[in-house]
Each structure stands twice: as structure tokens, then as C-alpha cells.
Amino acid sequence: MNKEIRIGNHYISENSPAYIIAEMSANHNMDYDRAVRIIHAAKEAGADAIKIQTYTADTITLDCDAPDFQITQGTLWDGRTFHDLYAEAYTPWEWQPKLQEIAKELDIDFFSSPFDFSSVDFLEEMKVPAYKVASYEITDIPLIRKIAALKKPVIISTGIAMEEDIELALKTCKEAGNENVILLKCCSAYPSPYEDINLKTMVDMADRFDCITGLSDHTEGHAVSCAAVAMGAKVIEKHLTLRRADGGVDSAFSMEPEEFAEMVKNIRISEKAMGQVTYELTKKQISGRDFSRSLYIAEDMEAGDVFTEDNLRSVRPGFGLHPKYYDEILGRRVTHAVTKGTALKWDLVE
């Protein structure tokens, strides 16, 4: 797979900083001005991209209240039909070009998750720089084929995917001539229990499928996202709202702006701390060796006195001989009189 993928002005690779996506989803609560404020909040919090979703209730499901279309899986939305939920959650299409322009003015990437052919065509007219395939759409091979054929980066969440689902999705992209694919480890539970995240799978996916990987994170807080970056995640996606207390179908598992900014800050700290593989010391570390152990005279000694465990000690600071010479020096004699606290040098040893 391609190991450097460009989205907007960002280059995502094994050596790049994590690309951080703020997912608006339904947190606009059907208020255009609120959607605008969320984009501003994403930019101010340090996100690299704002992502929306492009569908209508009729393009994503059927207007039907038969048992199959009732939500009963122990979610936040139980008791509703799919059509009812998505009629409340969708982002009006007439907003989307205007929101894209606002994101462009703020210099933050803007793209979307399409959920059917018509939404792909709509987004392609907007010239979005990338496409996101949501977890539940990873089995929609015709949709993935259409997206992949556009030759733009494709980010695929794997929240409900078995290994063979991932293999088929990647095979579909490759057959369409598109290897610019990023896989996101994901747990499709809202919010997700920490013990169900299995970040080690994200690392395995990078090796197994030879692609850039990241995390679509539905857990509470930012500890899991920071851990994912420390383990090699190059994309982090988190839901962003203005205030959870404002309500909305996704508010319970979304971050507030201050929390998102704290996450970004800690991700960047984690990246700095990871650094590179090196055994070279910094200037501060080299000067810090002054506080390491070394051999010192622990009692006043006269010329010819024998070095013993009482008068020769390995102590801080580090200006004397290396402690590795301690056993070699015991039993030998001092060349001339020395006082307690003298750093041992070879010219003091007969």
C-alpha cells in the first residue's frame, strides 16, 4: 500500500504527525450556525480536518417500522426506527458547500462520509479531498468501489469488520486502482468500553494489510487516542460538539472543545516524547552524568595506606574513577596523602 497519502495540505506517512479529524456527525443539532461554530472550534482546538456525513434518511435506510428497522441493540437510540433517527441526525445537503467554504477560509481540511451513490456524486461536485467509509458501510462493496474509483484517499473504519471484510474492502480499492487507503481501528459502541478497543489490533493491521492505520475513537476522554498515537496511529478521529449538555443523538460520546484541545496537546507531547531510536545523549544528559556514581576517598589517608571498603566508596557525584574499577583497586595502596572527599584518579593508586 502507498505509505504517504496526501489529504489537502497534509501528508500522512509512517513518519508524519498524527492527522487529527474532528467528526461533527449530528452534533449540529439541525442548527446551521451551530455547525459553523463547531468548525471554528475544531480549528481552534488544533484539528487538521473537520468531517461531516452526507446522507438523508431516505438514502441510508427505508421509511419502515417493521421489526428489522427498529433499533433494539442496547444503544443510546433504542426504541426508535432507523429512519426516525437519521431524519434527525443528517446534515442538510444545502449546508455542505457553505460549510466547506468556511473550512477553507479557516485552512482546515473538509471531507465527508457518503452513504450511497448520490452522496458520492454530490461530494465529488464539491471536490472534497478524501472520502471516509463508515464502519457499517465496510460491507457495501459497490459503494466502496465507486469511491475508490475516484482515486482519492479513502479512510475506512473497521468497527464491525471481520478480517475477511477488511481484506475484501482493500481488494476492492486495489482493483479500482486505488491504494491510497487508511484503515482505522474502531469499536462501534457508543461510548466504547476501554477493554473492547484492542489497540494491538491496529498495530497488527498495519503489518498484516501493509497500510497506514489509525483510530476512530468512541471512548470517553483522550487516554486511548494518546495511547494509539504512541503505538503508531497516524490518524485519530474523535466526535466534537460544543457542549454535551446541549443534547443531540451523538452528544453523549462527543468531546467538548476544551477536551479536544487537551487531547491534541497531549498527542503532540506524545509524539515529541517518542522521538527516534538513539543511544546518543543530549547535552543535558551528558551534563547529568556529573551526578552519576564514581569512586571517592571516604576517609583521610596517608601515603602507603591500603584501599579498603571503609576508605574507598562508590558515591555521587561522578568526577572520580568509574565504579567498575572498585574491586581492582581494593587492596592496593594510595601513592600520597589524600583527604576525605577526594575524587579517585589513577595517579593516586600504586
Residue 103 has pLDDT above 60, yes or no: yes
CATH of the domain at 312: 3.90.1210.10
List of long-range contacts for 188-194, beta carbons under 8 Å, 24+ apart: 188/135, 188/136, 188/159, 188/160, 188/218, 189/218, 190/75, 190/76, 190/218, 190/250, 190/252, 190/253, 191/218, 191/219, 191/220, 191/252, 191/253, 192/217, 192/218, 192/219, 192/253, 193/219, 194/219, 194/224
The pLDDT > 90 percentage for the chain reads 91
Instruction: Tell whether 81 is covered by a domain.
Output: no
Residue 130 has pLDDT above 80, yes or no: yes
Domain end among 242, 274, 306: 274
Residue 317, preceding peptide bond in cis (omega within 30° of 0): yes
Q: What does the alpha-carbon distance between residue 55 and residue 22 come to, in Å, rounded to a whole number?
A: 18
pLDDT for position 134: 97
Residue 182 structural domain? 11-55+90-274
Element (H, E) at 133: strand 131-133
Q: Are residues 251 and 287 in the same domain?
A: no
pLDDT for position 183: 98
Q: Are residues 269 and 289 in the same domain?
A: no
pLDDT in tens, 252-290: 999 999 999 999 999 999 999 998 889 999 888 989 899
CATH of the domain at 133: 3.20.20.70
pLDDT in tens, 55-79: 999 999 999 999 999 988 777 778 8
Return the SS3 of 284. Answer: helix
pLDDT for position 2: 54
Residue 20's DSSP bridge partners are 236
**Which of 18-22, 128-132, 141-145, 251-255 has the weakest average pLDDT?**
251-255
Q: Are residues 170 and 256 in the same domain?
A: yes
Backbone dihedral angles phi then psi of residue 272, each to the nearest 5 degrees: -65, -40
Residue 44 has pLDDT above 70, yes or no: yes
Instruction: Tell whether 249 is covered by a domain.
Output: yes
Residue 1 has pLDDT above 60, yes or no: no
Predicted confidence band at 81 (pLDDT cuts at 50, 70, 90)? Answer: very high
